[in-house]
Structure 1
Amino acid sequence: MKETSTVGLNRSLGLWSALSLVIGTVIGSGIFFKQASVLQMTGSTNLALLAWLLGGLITLADGLTLSEIGAQIPHTGGLYQYMTHIYGEFWGFMSGWMQVIVYAPSIVGSIAGYLGLLMVNFFGVSSFWKAPIAIVTIVLIAVLNMLENRYGATFAIVTTICKLVPIVVIIGFGLFFGHESALGETITSVHQSMGNFGVAVLGTIFAYDGWILITNLGGEIKHPEKLLPLAIILGISIIIVLYLGVTYGIFRSMSATRINALGENATAYFATSAFGVWGGRLINIGIMISIIGALNGKIMSFPRIYYAMAAKHQLPFAKHLGRLNAKTHTPVVATLTLLGLTAAMILTIDTDRLSELCIFVMYSFYIAAFVGVFILRRRHGGQPRGFHTPGYPVVPIFAIVGTGFVVISELFSDFTGAAASMVVIALGMPLYFYLKRKYRDTHDPDVI
């Protein structure tokens, strides 16, 4: 198919598409497995619910804060564009470099690998097929997202609806038929040895992560100054309700002791006991669909960072990565690049560990973006433009403190990983200065 760099992205995504991408990208497998781990870390069902709520409120503060920036800078590339606009092209490059080289392929590879593991267990085949299944899955999703963006958006809507079915069933059964009522129960032995409310909140924050990827599609959302903030805020709010609902439903249906003993199998046990063997299998199918939906959101959004950076000549082979397909108006080469890097990582390294190494740097960039709200207001004479964060300045400060908690926790719990992520950042510096010198006389096109 003929391609040309003069082709523009289709600004065709409406509220439902954007909302589905927020919800679908965040909700993967965590909602089905994390109830026991959060309970173990808090030692109390009430504290576990509070941890889920606090993690959600921190995430909502993040979303409210970033929405003010996104409404002012509604361009393709999200965080990369925000960092560039607020702090200059060097820091924009650094935030983009970390994402395109390590974070994007490793997070996609990690999720795809977990899906492969679930599938080999579900169908009872050899573990040899884990990697091939993972790669085939991302290839199929990537091909879908090389078509017009409405196809990926429609798939996001369908998978989001499908993943909501088992979630609503769990919540409904717990509310109306649950009889164990673990609410108020404690696990004394676990609380004494492992209880750590801060670690539990940290775990829930990670479960809420992924909503920011919708900002990568800012150049394809209709009226982004209005719809982008609305999709982020509504999406995060719905996710908070769903996470609390599932946790509450399980606590209403099983004792705290049993949940603790079953660990990650608590939800599957609940489904089997409530609906029989087929109930457990349907939950597993729901989890796999949920993961596929999360993969779709990531594979749809991440290539936009490659495209945005290439359009500003901040990546090698920028001429190719910055092209859009003439018929589909999608970044096909960028999508293929993400696909190739991900497949290589799945076959050669531990993508789970590699994605964990990115947490320290990525959340540091989040903090910088949140601070950017104050910087932009100062530039504009203290007044917001377009959407303004409710509760300013308290909400942005809450977002900064909450995200700072993640960064500090990672620094103390995984100093080696934090240092390794800084090394990756440092490796991008020579490339930045090389490309800057090479294209110093080039007038960079605007990315919309």
Structure 2
Amino acid sequence: MEDHNLENNLRKDLGLVSALSLVVGMVLGAGAFMKPPAVLEVAGDYNYALLAWIIGGIFSICGGLTLCELGVMFPRTGGMLVYLEKIYGSKVSHLYGWMITVLFAPSLVGALVGYFSSVFCLLFGIDDSYKMAVSAGVLGFIAVINAIGVKQAGYLQTIATACKLIPILLLAIFGLWKGNGQVALFSASGQGIETYAPFAVAILATLFAYDGWAQVASVAGEIHNPAKVLPKAIILGIIFLVVVYACINIALFKIFPVQEMVSLGHDASAVASQRMFGHLGGNLVAVGIMISILGGINGYIMTLSRTIFSMAERGTIIGARYLSTIDDDSRSPVNAICVLVVFSFLYSILLDADRLSEISMFSIWVFYLLTFIGVIIARKKYADVPRSYKVIGYPIIPIIAILGAMYVIYGMLVYQTFNGIASIILTLIGLPLYFYYHRKNKNKELSLGEMKKYKVKMQYTIAVSTMIIVALLALYGGVVSK
């Protein structure tokens, strides 16, 4: 149990403001602009849509409070990968890492790329047939930045984080102020559309916008006085986000009738800004939205490529040697980044952005469910491990988190049975691979994780490849549009 007390060796420099900033900074992003129409479509009317956003926030609060107990117990790099391994063993943690590699990471990045290309084409009046070229271009740009080095990727992330607050504030404040009063909240006269989706699907759609709170648990061991700071940071942070999302939704409801907002889909926020601020002002807000989404793509490629790299170092996935190679110039896992970018692009072609976001949330919430249950198991399995933070309201808060996870999983399986079952099957494929590589590598010394110096710098290779692919896709788009 020696490694369970590593928190004593970590600097506890994070206070309430830092932890609160981490919650809001990780969560607030593309979902604020892209998800309101999708939630409204499956909810059916304004009132149920707002209720879905509130319940999604409650589930996220309970989930965050629950997960952070494990973050304090096992303050090690890897987050949920470590928690699942400690509680359920290496097989389950492998399945989690495999799911991140083949499902969550490419689906999430693919969804963000789909949202970006949609706003980009609307802003510049480009035909939708060019979306593939735009998607390839933005992914190539992010890959080049990350191939240059993590420092440069960090600069991009800082700029995007600062910029994303501008369109959010403008949409929320001016939408509430200048909206034409389409909304009829909390009354029988509220507009609605026919929907056959379970209400759980609307909640699942909001969880894409709330996703990111789990990252706080990864730094729980570095928070000063976590027993007091963690609950406050998670509760205040997500309540703030619920208010922001509610304001954005109400602002959009006041600008659009239900049917028009649903039909606009991903373009609703950009069109709303054009109506409020005129063509030029609206375009500036749309640029802010694109920069926000760009930051989300960059942030997830930065973090999730490291998870893929970590999985490759264990030697239990296909192409482990290639994926665990670090570029000597940038000191980044460039191969893992390239593979993530390629699969994200393919996913964005095969499925629309909303469907990809739902698949990513479904797949990750299956493991959130296991982690929430794991908190209860850990109370018995690691009863003697000191906990500077325990879930407030135990066991009620973990039970709410567990029931919430089960509810959204049920909604996905009922409404999109094929996608739900396909996600589970793709995840379980990782199990025979685990046994195969575990047996193959038994009693072997694996020489993985090597440093490699390429003759041509990887950023140049990626940049040239991206330009060629974008040119070919642009030609294809031109043919299709004719």
TM-score, structure 2 normalization: 0.76
Asked if the contact 2:201/2:408 (under 8 Å) is kept, the reply is no
Q: Distance in 1 between matches of 2:230 and 2:444?
A: 34
Query: 1:274 is matched by which residue type in structure 2?
Result: M
Structure 1 residues 35, 345: closer, same or farther in 2, change over 3 A?
Answer: closer
Q: Distance in 1 between matches of 2:86 and 2:406?
A: 22
Change (3 A) 1:415 1:130: same
Which residue is equivalent to 1:88? 89
Q: How far apart, CA to CA, are the structure 1 residues paired with 2:185 and 2:104?
A: 38
- The answer as to 2:109 corresponding to 1:108 is yes
Structure 2 SS opposite 1:302:
helix
In structure 1, distance between residues paired with 2:445 and 2:225:
30
TM-score, reference length from structure 1 = 0.81
Tell me what 1:402 maps to: 404
Q: State how far apart, in whole Å, the 2-side matches of 1:328 and 1:224 are.
A: 30
Structure-1 residue corresponding to 2:392 = 390
Report the counterpart of residue 367 of structure 2 in structure 1.
365
1:55 and 1:204 in contact (8 A); partners too: yes
Equivalent in the alignment of 1:428: 430
1-structure distance, mates of 2:303, 2:407: 27
User: Is contact 2:46-2:192 (8 Å) kept?
Assistant: no
Give the alignment of 1:183-262 within 5 angstroms.
183-187=185-189, 190=192, 197-212=199-214, 218=218, 223=222, 235-251=237-253, 253-254=254-255
8 Å contact kept, 2:208–2:361: no
Instruction: Tell me the matched-pair count.
Output: 431
Task: Give 3-state SS (helix, strand or coil) of 2:437's partner.
Answer: helix
Question: Quick one: which amino acid aligns to residue 275 of structure 1?
Answer: F
- In structure 2, what is the equivalent of residue 286 of structure 1? 288
* CA apart distance, 1:92: 0.8
1:34-433 → structure 2 map (5 Å cutoff):
34-39=35-40, 42=43, 45-174=46-175, 180=181, 182-187=184-189, 190=192, 197-212=199-214, 218=218, 223=222, 235-251=237-253, 253-254=254-255, 264=265, 267-325=269-327, 328-346=330-348, 349-350=350-351, 352=353, 353=355, 356-357=358-359, 359-381=361-383, 385-433=387-435
**Residues 56, 207 of structure 2: 8 Å contact kept:** yes
CA contact (8 A) 1:322 1:334 kept: yes
Q: RMSD value over aligned CA atoms? A: 3.8
Q: In the alignment, is the contact (CA less than 8 A) between 1:19 and 1:234 conserved in 2?
A: yes
Q: State the SS of the aligned residue for 2:77.
A: coil
Letter in 2 for 1:110: A
Question: Which amino acid is the alignment partner of residue 423 of structure 2?
Answer: S
| Structure 1 unmatched ranges of 5 or more | 1-10
Check whether the contact 2:111–2:357 (CA below 8 A) recurs between aligned residues. yes
Distance change >3 Å, CA 421–CA 261, structure 1 → 2: closer
**Residues 186 and 256 (structure 1 numbering): CA distance in 2 closer, same or farther, change over 3 Å?**
farther
Deviation at 1:133, TM superposition (A): 2.0
Distance 1:440 1:224, change over 3 A: farther
CA distance in 2, matches of 1:355, 1:36: 14
Contact 1:359 1:410 in 2 (8 A): no
Change (3 A) 1:198 1:116: closer
1:45 shift after superposition: 4.1
- Mean CA deviation greater in 53-62 or 66-75: 66-75
Distance in 1 separating the partners of 2:299 and 2:50? 28
Distance 1:125 1:155, change over 3 A: same
How far residue 142 of structure 1 moved from its aligned partner, in angstroms, is: 2.5
Larger mean Cα displacement after TM superposition, 328-337 or 80-89: 328-337
Once residues 383 and 35 of structure 1 are traced to their aligned partners in structure 2, the CA distance between those partners, rounded to angstroms, is 43
Q: Separation in 2 of the partners of 1:111 and 1:368?
A: 26
Provide the C-alpha distance between the structure 2 equivalents of 1:188 and 1:275, rounded to a whole number of angstroms.
27
Q: Is the 8 A contact 2:161 2:292 kept in 1?
A: yes
The Cα of 1:369 is off from its aligned counterpart by: 0.8
Distance change (3 Å), C-alpha of 1:316 and 1:289: same
2:222 maps to a residue whose letter is H
What is the percent sequence identity of the aligned residues?
Answer: 34
